[in-house]
Amino acid sequence: MTEGLVTGDDSIVRCWWPGDHADYLAYHDDEWGRPTTDDTRLFEKICLEGFQAGLSWLTILRKREAFRSGFAGFDPAVVAGFGSDDVERLLGDAGIVRHRGKIESTINNAARALEVADEFGSLAAYLWSWEPTGEARGPDDPIPATTAESTALSRDLKRRGWSFVGPTTAYAFMQAMGMVNDHMPGCAFHAVVEAERATVVRPTR
């Protein structure tokens, strides 16, 4: 078996990182890397990637429904209106990661997302404009933690007033939302993602 790939009990070859966790396997198979152009889902993911800083994605994944409940389904128009009472409410919510800075960042970033959507027509049009356009990563190339594109996206987001959007967070977001295909060659879902990326309609300004 190629390094970085594992064969599951269901005989499907996958990337190694979901392990044998059923919820993580479902995320790998059905979500990770699938091109996403919905503003709400994009906003949710960039916020959750920020909450993940210092934690595992599996921890965040298992709290995702509680996050969605606490943050009004990650509707930026609603979250941008959250005030101090909402911050205290969220700090008391054991179902999420109770980190004041990350909670306040999500509220701030919601307002910034609305500004971006107003300028570009949608949040998706702005974020997808940072999709890498160079050669795809080779089969023997290691998966990076950051790229030139994620560093540039991070820098521009920060310039626009976003927070908890470092280059590593930005690249994890790009991987998850299908702006790149980092399923390992040989993973059963590499070709699935390639096919979806080939047909997805990129949002434009």
Active site (annotated) includes residue 57: yes
Active site (annotated) includes residue 65: no
Q: How far apart are CA 69 and CA 66, in angstroms?
A: 5
Q: How far apart are CA 23 and CA 167, in angstroms?
A: 27
* Given 27, 31, 131, 196, the catalytic residue: 27
Q: How buried is 128 (Cβ within 10 angstroms: 0-12 exposed, 13-18 middle, 19+ buried)?
A: buried
Q: How far apart are CA 169 and CA 174, in angstroms?
A: 9
> Using an 8 Å Cβ cutoff, are 37 and 201 in contact?
yes
> Using an 8 Å Cβ cutoff, are 23 and 62 in contact?
yes
CA distances from 55 to 16, 29, 32, 47, 61 (A): 19, 22, 18, 14, 11
Active site (annotated) includes residue 130: no
Token pair recorded at residue 71: 């943050």
CA distances from 173 to 10, 43, 95, 133 (A): 28, 10, 22, 17
* Given 17, 31, 57, 196, the catalytic residue: 57
* Given 24, 32, 44, 49, the catalytic residue: 49
**Residues assigned a catalytic role:** 27, 49, 57
